[in-house]
Chain A
Amino acid sequence: MLPRPSSNIRRSLLCKLSRRGSPHVSGRLISGSSGKMPEYDDCDVVILGGGPVGLALASALSSNDTLRNSLKVTLLESSDLNRIRDWDPPPDAFSNRVVSLTNASLDFLIEMGAWSHVDVERTCPMVDMQVWDGVSDVRIDFNAATLGISARDGSNQMARIIETLNLQRGLLRHLKKYTNVTLLDNTKVENIFGDDILSGGWPVVQPSVGRALRARLVVGADGIKSVVRSYSKIDSYGWDYPARAIVATLQHPPRTVLFNTTAYQRFLPTGPIAFLPLSPTASSLVWSTSQALAAVLAKADPAILASMINAAFRLPELSVRYLHERLLEAPSISLDDLRAEIAFREKAHAIPPHSALASVDVQPNDTIVGIPDQGAEMLPPLVASIQPGTVASFPLRFRHAESYVGSRTVLIGDAAHVMHPLAGQGLNLGLGDAEALARCVQSVIMYGGDIGSRTALMPYSRERYFENHKIMSAVDKLHKLYATTAPPVVWARSTGVEVLNELDALKAGIISAAGGQSRAVGGESFPWSTVANGLEALVSGARVAGAVGSGLKSVAGNILQQLVRVTSDPGNNKRE
C-alpha cells in the first residue's frame, strides 16, 4: 500500500506539466516525489468569491480570537474590490441591488462588529409589510409592532433594507483591521486540482496571478456557476423559472402621514411586484414577470416603466393583464397613448380620479398636499420617476446543490442554493451559511480536528441543508401557488390568507421562521409557543374553510399545510 507504482507518479507529473506548462515548477514537483513538498503557498482557508457572503465568512473567520489566531485565510475575487471600497454615491441616489436583511442576519453582522462599518443612514427599517393577491385582492398585513417582532436594539422592525454595495463596503472596511485575511481581487481562478501524491490530496487553487495556493479547505462562495462545486463534482438540481426580474430605484414624493417604512408586494399571475423602501423619497423595485415583458420594460422609456409600475400596484388584474398585452403588441407605444389606456381602464373600473387607486391624472407631488386618500397606506407612494441608469433585469432560477461538502471543499451562499427573490431570503440564507460554517470551524479547531475533513464539516451541512431547503421550497411553492388564476385556487389561497391574516401568532411565527426575530430579543421559547398557538387556531380555521367550500377542502388544506411548513421552528436545526 505504501509505495505507489511509479507509473502513477509519472502520469500525474505529466498531467502537471501539461497543466501548468512551466518546466521550472515541475522540476520542483519531481523533487516533491522524493519526499519534499512542492512549492505551493499553504493556506488554511481559501474563499472563492468576494460577494457579501464570501466577505461575511472572511469577517466571521477574523473577528473571533480563536479563529483569527488559528487560520490563515485568502479570499479570491475576480472583480476589482476597490470599486466597492471607493463607492461613495450622493445621499439621494441608490444602487439598484438591494437586499432586506432579517433581524437574524443583522445579529450576525452586529455580533462580529461589521455592522458598525455600514452606512446606516443609507439603510431603512421595514416595519410593515403589505402583501396581497393580485386576483382576489385579499391582503395580509405583517406589522412588526403588532406582531412583537423587533431587532436587537428593541426597535420594531421585520428586516432592514440595505444596498448590497453598502453591505459589501462595510464588510471590506471591517476586514481591513485583520491581518489573517488576504484579499486578492482582480484575480481569477484558473484551475483547482487535487494531487494525491504531491499535495496529499489537498486542493490546489491556481490563480491567474501569483503562486498556487494549497488549501486545507476551499470555500465556494462563487455563485451559481461555482467552480468549487464543479471541482467537487457536486451536482445541483433545479430549474429556470420562465420569468425575469426587473430591478430599479424608484423616486417618489415623501409620505405625509406615514413614514416610508412599509414594503408592498402584489402577487400578479405573471409574478410578484415588490416595493422596498430605502429612504423617504426613494424605494427599490423588484418585479418578476414574463421574459418578454421584462425585455420590453427594461428597454422602455423610464416614464413608461413608472406608469406601468403605478398601474401594476393599483389596477385590477384584468386591466394589468390588458396593459401587459398592449405593451407586448406595441413595445414602442408612446407615453401619452399608454396614459390614455390607463385612464380608460381607471374610468372603466369606476376609480375616482383622485382616489388612492388612481395614478394617471394625479401628479405624484400633489399627494403630499392635504390628507391622504382613504386606503393610501395600503398602496406604495406614486412613482414619480426612475433614477437614471438603475433599470436592470436578471433571470430567475431555482438551484440546490446535492451536498454542501466535498473533499476539502464546502459550498455557501448562491454556490449552494439559488432561489426566487420573492421572499428576499437568498442573501439571508447565505449569511446564515457563513455564520454556521464559522461556528462549525471554531468547534472543530477547539477539539483538534482538521477543518477540511468531511466529518468535521458535517455539523455545518446538517445545520444548513434542511433549513435552507425548507425555506427554498416554501418560497417556490408560494410562487407557483400565486402564478395561477384558476378560480378554485384563487378562492382557496385567498381564504387561507384571510384566515391567516386574523392570526397574529401564526404570522409572527412565519416571520420568525424566516429569520425575522432577533436572537437577543426573542428568547428561546418564542417561536415555539407562537407556532403552537397559531397552529391550534389554524386547525379550527381549516375546519371553517373546509365547511364553507366543501369540495375544495384539499386545496385549502394544501395552502395551510404550506404555511405550516414555513412556520416550523427556526431553532430546530438539529432535525434531520
Chain B
Amino acid sequence: MLHPLTQHPFLCIARSLVHFPSSKNAKCHRHARDIFPRPSRPLSRQLHDRPATDAPPATDQPPPPVSTINDDEVAHFSRLSALWWDEQGEFALLHKMNAHRMRFIREKVLEVRRDERSPDGGFATAARSSIESSPHALEGMDALDVGCGGGILSESLARLGANTLAIDASAENVGVATRHAAADRSLSALSFRHASAEALAQEPKRFDLVCSMEVVEHVDNPAAFLRACAELVKPGGHLFLSTIARTPLSYLLTIVAAEKAFRVVEPGTHTFSKFVDADELIGFFARPLARGARPWISRTYAHGLPTRAEAEVRGIAYIPWRGDWVLAPRATTPWSTQANYLFWARKPKDNP
C-alpha cells in the first residue's frame, strides 16, 4: 500500500513526466496501476486489472449490478444542475463542444453506413448525397445517452432523428433536462430516466448508438461502467465516449487553468486521478468483454491505434482565442489526445 501522498496530482505529474513520452501501451498500463493503486476500490481506473475470464458472463446469467455511481459526483452535478442551460455560464465549454462531438458522431455513423454498402456502386451518387446532406442522419436509430446531465447531447441526438433515451444518476439533472426538452415540441422522440447504465443493462432493450460523453472520468469503477455501456450496444452498434487523458497537459488545462486559474469550470468538477488515457480505452476494448466473446478491437497499428472500422480516437482541444473547440484531424499523432478526446468503437456484428 502506498502512502496517500503518492496520489497527489503533482506527484502524478512528476511520475508521468518520467514515463512520457516514451511510454507505449503495456508500459503505460503498468504505470497507471503504479500511480493509482486505490486498494480500497480494486476495480478503479485499472481498466485491465481483471483477466477476461473473470469478466461477468453474458446477459443470460446477470451478475448483481455493481453501482459505478459516485455519490459525491452526483451531489456535485446536482448542485450545478440549474446552470446546465446557461450557455454563458458554468457549462459554456460543454455547449461549445457539443457541435463538434455531434459532428464526430454524425460523420462516424455515416462513414460506417457508407462502408457497409456494397462496394460495387450499389450506392448511387444521388442516394449517397441525399444521406450525406440529410439533417436526419440518425433517423431510425435507437440511441442512449448515458450521463446526460442537462440533456445537451441528448437533444441533439433526437434532432438528428434518433429515438433517444437519456439517463442520468442525478434526479435533479433528469428534472432539468426533461423540463428543458419539454419546451421544444420537436423533441418528441426524446425521453429521460433517472437510472444507471448498470441497471439499464439488466433490461432487454439494446441500442444502435450508446453515447457517454464526459462521464467515464466521473464514475467510480470505469471498467464496470464501460462493460455496462458496451453491453447496451446492439451487435454492430456504436459506442461513443469522450473523456480526458491523465497527462501533465490535461492536469494543466482542465484543473490548473479551467478550474483554478480562470474559473471557467467550478473547482472540484474534475478529479485528475480519474481521467482515462486513450490507450487504456483501446486496451480495454482489445480484450474480450465476456467469456468467449470477440474483442471489439482485433488489432492495433502504429502508436497503438486501431483500424478506422473498429475504433477511433480523436483529440479535441479548446482554443481560447477562437472561443471554440477544434477537433483534431484523423491523421494526427497521439499527441493530440493528450487532454480531451473523443473515442468511438463498434461492437462486432457477431457479438451477442
Decide whether A and B are members of one complex.
yes
A contact set with B: CB distance below 8 Å: 1-2, 37, 42, 65-66, 69-70, 199-202, 216, 443-450, 453-456, 458, 462, 574, 576
Report chain B residues within 8 Å CB of A446: 103, 106, 133, 135, 137
Give Cα A453 to B102, complex, Å: 15
Q: How many A-B residue pairs have CB under 8 A?
A: 76
Are B323 and A448 neighbours in the complex by a CB distance under 8 Å? no
B236 at the binding interface (Cβ < 8 Å): no
Residues of A contacting B175 in the complex (Cβ-Cβ under 8 angstroms): 1-2
- Chain A to chain B contacts (Cβ below 8 Å), 16 pairs: A1-B176, A2-B179, A66-B133, A66-B135, A69-B135, A199-B183, A200-B179, A200-B183, A447-B106, A448-B160, A449-B102, A449-B156, A450-B184, A454-B87, A455-B87, A455-B92
The 5 closest A-B pairs by CB, nearest first: A200-B183, A448-B156, A448-B159, A447-B102, A448-B160
Contact A448 B157 (CB under 8 A): yes
Binds A, one of B93-101, B254-262, B277-285: B93-101
- Tell me, in angstroms, the Cα distance from A364 to B185 when the chains sit together: 67
Give per-residue flags for B156-193: 1 if the beta carbon is below 8 A from chain A beta carbons, else 0. 11111000000000001001100110111100000000
Given A1-B172, A449-B99, A456-B99, are A70 and B135 neighbors across the interface (CB < 8 Å)?
yes
B319: min CB distance to chain A, Å: 10
A221–chain B nearest beta-carbon distance, Å: 23
Nearest opposing residue in chain A for B106, CB measure = A447
Interface majority SS on B: helix, strand, loop or mixed? helix
Count residues of B near A (Cβ-Cβ below 8 Å): 35
Given A200-B184, A453-B87, A444 contacting B172 (CB threshold 8 A): no
Q: Which residues of A contact B81 (CB under 8 A)?
A: 1
- Whether the pair B102, A448 counts as a contact (CB closer than 8 A) is yes
A199→B179 CA distance, assembly (Å): 11
- Name which residue of chain A comes closest to B99, CB basis: A447
Contact with A along B92-133 (1 / 0, CB 8 A): 100110110011001000000000000000000000000001
B200 at interface, CB cutoff 8 A: no
In the complex, are the beta carbons of A449 and B96 less than 8 A apart? Answer: no
B322 lies within 8 A of chain A by Cβ: yes
Q: How far is the CA of A576 from the CA of B324 in the complex (A)?
A: 12
A175 CB to closest chain B CB, in angstroms? 21
Task: List residues 259-305 of chain B with CB under 8 A from any CB of chain A.
Answer: none
- Bound-state Cα–Cα, A448 to B190, Å: 13
| Least Cβ–Cβ distance between B172 and chain A, in angstroms | 6
Judge if B82 is at the interface, Cβ distance under 8 Å: yes
Known pairs A449-B159, A454-B87; A1 contacts B82 (CB<8 A)? yes
Interface residue from B155, B321, B322 paired with A448 (Cβ < 8 Å): B155
Q: Does B333 contact A (CB under 8 A)?
A: no
Decide yes or no whether B88 CB sits under 8 A from chain A: yes
In whole angstroms, what is the CA distance A473 to B189 when docked? Answer: 48
Nearest residue (CB) in A for B78 is: A1
Residue of chain A at shortest CB distance from B185: A42
Q: Contact string, B75-92, partner A, CB cutoff 8 A, digits 1/0?
A: 000000110000110001
Please, how many angstroms separate the alpha-carbon atoms of A201 and B158 in the complex? 20
In the complex the two chains form, what is the Cα distance from A202 to B183 in whole Å?
A: 8
CB distance from B157 to the nearest CB of A (A): 7
In the complex, what residue of chain A is closest to B96 when comparing beta carbons? A455
**Residue interface bits B30-41, CB-to-A below 8 A is 1, else 0:** 000000000000
Please state if B133 and A576 are interface contacts (CB–CB under 8 Å). no
Cα(A330)–Cα(B104), bound, Å: 73
| The residue from B95, B106, B179, B323 contacting A453, defined by CB atoms under 8 A apart | B95
Residue of B nearest to A42 (CB): B185
In the complex the two chains form, what is the Cα distance from A443 to B182 in whole Å? 24
- The residues of B that contact A2 with a CB separation of less than 8 Å are 172, 175-176, 179
B99 CB contact (under 8 Å) in A66, A201, A444: A444
Q: Are B135 and A455 neighbours in the complex by a CB distance under 8 Å?
A: no
Nearest CB of B to A199, in Å: 7
Min CB distance, B110 to chain A, in Å? 11
Is there contact, CB below 8 Å, between A462 and B323? yes
Contact residues in B for A69 (Cβ distance below 8 Å): 135
- Inter-chain pairs besides A200-B183, A448-B156, A455-B96, 18 sampled, C-beta below 8 Å: A37-B185, A200-B180, A201-B183, A202-B183, A443-B99, A446-B103, A446-B133, A447-B156, A447-B160, A448-B155, A448-B158, A449-B102, A450-B159, A453-B87, A455-B92, A455-B98, A456-B99, A458-B324
What residues on A are CB-neighbors of B185 within 8 Å? 37, 42
Residues on B with C-beta less than 8 A from A448 are 102, 106, 155-160
Which residues from B are CB-within-8-Å of A453?
A: 87, 95
Bound-state Cα–Cα, A374 to B238, Å? 77
Question: Nearest-CB distance from A315 to chain B (Å)?
Answer: 53
Closest to B158 in A: A448
Contact B155 A450 (CB under 8 A): yes
A572 to chain B, nearest CB (A): 14
**Most chain-A Cβ atoms within 10 A of its Cβ — which of B95, B179, B183, B184?**
B183
Min Cβ gap B266→A in Å is: 16
The interface residues of chain A lying within 8 Å CB-to-CB of B82 are 1
Q: Which residues of B contact A216 (CB under 8 A)?
A: 184
Residues of B within 8 A of A201 (CB): 183
In the bound complex, how far is the Cα of B297 from the Cα of A153, in angstroms? 53
Smallest CB gap from A64: residue in B: B133
Chain B residues with CB under 8 A of A37? 185
B321 proximity list for chain A (CB < 8 A): 576
What 0/1 readout, one digit per residue, does chain B (300-341) give for beta carbons within 8 Å of chain A? Answer: 000000000000000000000111100000000000000000
B157, closest chain A residue (CB) = A448
Write the nearest CB–CB distance from B209 to chain A, whole angstroms.
12
Whole-angstrom CA separation of A515 from B92 in the bound complex: 34
Expressed in whole angstroms, the Cα–Cα distance for A201 and B98 within the complex equals 21
**Considering only CB atoms, which chain B residue lies closest to A459 in the complex?**
B324
Q: Are A449 and B133 closer than 8 Å at their CB atoms? A: no
How far is A564 from B276 in the complex, measured between Cα atoms in Å?
A: 50
- B-side contacts of A200, CB under 8 Å: 179-180, 182-184
With both chains docked as a complex, state the minimum distance between the C-beta of B199 and any C-beta of chain A, in angstroms: 22
Residues of B within 8 A of A202 (CB): 183
**Chain B residues whose C-beta falls within 8 Å of the C-beta of A447 in the assembled complex:** 99, 102-103, 106, 156, 160
Docked pose: A416 CA to B160 CA in angstroms: 32
> By the criterion CB–CB under 8 Å, are A65 and B133 in contact?
yes
Within the complex, what minimum Cβ distance (angstroms) separates B61 from chain A? 38
Residues of A within 8 A of B324 (CB): 458
Contacts A2-B179, A447-B102, A576-B322 given; indicate if A455 touches B156 (C-beta within 8 A): no
Cα–Cα distance between A24 and B135 once the two chains are bound (Å): 39
Q: In the bound complex, how far is the Cα of B95 from the Cα of A454, in angstroms?
A: 9
On whether the beta carbons of B135 and A445 are closer than 8 Å, the reply is: yes
- Once the chains are docked, how many angstroms separate the CA of A200 from the CA of B151? 15
Of A2, A447, A450, most buried by chain B (CB within 10 Å of CB) is A447
Bound-state CA distance A444–B160 (Å) is 11
Nearest-neighbour CB distance to chain A for B119, whole angstroms, equals 26
Closest to A35 in B: B182
Report how far A216 CA is from B155 CA in the complex, Å: 14
